A and B are shown apart, each in its own frame.
Chain A
């Protein structure tokens, strides 16, 4: 079974803090994704990576950056957290060629 883990299930941070969300997968998938999910808005793609050190902006990259130094690890960074970044953050890996995605359990981030 594909296993995707995220560093925290719940996180509370203050406005202006730098926040790191980590995602680790054990299935050797090339593609990894970061989404945020908000009620009524569904899953919105923030960034994705198709190889080590490679990244591509998704639909809502503003206020975020990512890092992929190793194939199994994909980090999402909030440079200066703001209250409108309070959300559920989901990491996923993608399996070619069907593009089926496998999700982690999610991190519920609250920015105060």
Chain B
């Protein structure tokens, strides 16, 4: 069965630290990849997406993610986090069609 794994359930960083959240999926075919973010008290919103072309994609608020097909990975990165990045982050994979599979989420807490 297709699945999405997020390596860390909780991450605590200090401001200005670099961030990398891992995401791996299990599916051998063409995929469309997403990162969503849920800030405290707010809607889930799309952070960035990949469906073709340059495997390094840039999203909002300085986030980027790299699709490495050989590793079935789509890790999220940010060079320098801010307190306002405290949120829960979800990786998601669509293999074509109407179903998108979400990872369990990673809660990020940034210390001011």
A and B co-occur in one complex: no
